[in-house]
Amino acid sequence: MTARTKTEAPPRDGLRADKRRPTELRPHKISVDYIDFSDGSALIEVGRTRVLAAATIEERVPPFLRGTGRGWITAEYAMLPRATTERTQRERTAGRVSGRTQEIQRLVGRALRAVTDLRAIGERQIIIDCDVIQADGGTRSASITAGCVALGLALKKMLDQGLIDHMPLRHLVAGISVGIVGGRPLLDLDYSEDSQAELDMNIIETDRGELVEVQAGAEKNPFSRKDLLGLLKLADRGIAKIIQIQKETLKKNSILFMAYGYKDKTGPDKGSV
């Protein structure tokens, strides 16, 4: 979450600064196999935000899992110095990883572990490196969305090589930001909106409509349960579309991924944006 500035009145025509409707996603595009040497990679473009996720399979697990027969999935997150409008110092130069970075990489790892059968991968570790090439809001959500695709490709590689006997990825998982800006609920906030939000939330959800994580914070005044439920419903609509993009991207790599897809849990209008 970022420092807040004075909220501007919404445009009279109801559209946002980038001409989107309040319930409209930014353009989403996922490109796979962006890196030749990784075990699976995906570049996601969400408006002007771009995140590259790359998977690495290691024949080892953290010490606390040795001898358990279970695997592990973890993530690392970083931003290029010129991913933002002004250069940001590399964290290695500062000599420590920031609290924000630790929070995001733990979030990505939790989200991916939640949808994976860790026993099925054996005592192996998969690392998902998420590098922000350009940041215009929603980088943690984009990291999870791209990270899931990279993970799926890595697991398919393990299946092809005979390292595992079935696909351990139980569900697709994706993230989206929602918030209230100028009194209006908005889907998929860019940086200019996030920096003015009275309330912003990050929602992580599976292709079964099940929640993995909800992060919410009121920046000015407390919010109601009605606000919370309304934003959750708005996030559902966006995530349904994003997961469909994930599925369409992955099934070009293998028909194995045709089995995945968003399942409406509340009604026929849920998937429309």
Q: Give the domain range for residue 39.
A: 28-86+100-256
Which residue do the tokens 């991968």 mark?
A: 121
- Residue 94 in domain: no
Provide the pLDDT confidence category of residue 199 given band limits of 50, 70 and 90. very high
List C-alpha distances in Å: 133 to 4, 6, 68, 137, 145. Answer: 23, 28, 37, 12, 15
Report the number of distinct structural domains present in the chain. 1
pLDDT at 220: 82
- Residue 248 in domain: yes
pLDDT of residue 93 exceeding 90, the answer is no
Provide the pLDDT confidence category of residue 1 given band limits of 50, 70 and 90. very low
Cβ atoms within 10 Å, residue 60: 12
pLDDT digits (tens, 9 = 90+) for 29-74: 999 999 999 999 999 999 999 999 999 999 999 999 999 999 999 9
- Residue 214 in domain: yes
Which residue do the tokens 């994976």 mark?
A: 116
pLDDT of residue 219 exceeding 90, the answer is no
Nearest C-alpha neighbor of 52 from the set 134, 125, 114 = 134
> What's the predicted TM-score (pTM) here?
0.89
Sign of CA dihedral 97, 98, 104, 110: positive
- Residue 16 in domain: no
pLDDT at 106: 97
pLDDT digits (tens, 9 = 90+) for 250-263: 999 888 787 787 76
H or E, element range at 39: none
- Residue 266 in domain: no
- Tally the residues of the chain: 273
Q: Which residue has the higher pLDDT, 219 or 173?
A: 173
pLDDT at 94: 66
pLDDT of residue 105 exceeding 50, the answer is yes
pLDDT at 267: 45
- Residue 194 in domain: yes
Say whether 269 sits in a helix, a strand or coil.
coil
pLDDT at 12: 47
- Residue 93 in domain: no
> How many Cα neighbours within 13 Å face the side chain of 5?
7
44-47 CB contacts, 8 Å cutoff, 24+ apart = 44/142, 44/145, 44/146, 44/149, 46/138, 46/141, 46/142, 46/188, 47/18, 47/136, 47/137, 47/188, 47/190
What is the C-alpha to C-alpha distance for residues 34 and 198, in angstroms, rounded to an integer? 37
pLDDT digits (tens, 9 = 90+) for 110-152: 999 999 999 999 999 999 999 999 999 999 999 999 999 999 9
- Residue 21 in domain: no
Q: At residue 216, what are phi and psi to the nearest 5 degrees?
A: -140, 140
Which CATH number belongs to the domain containing residue 161 in this structure?
Answer: 3.30.230.70
Provide the pLDDT confidence category of residue 186 given band limits of 50, 70 and 90. very high
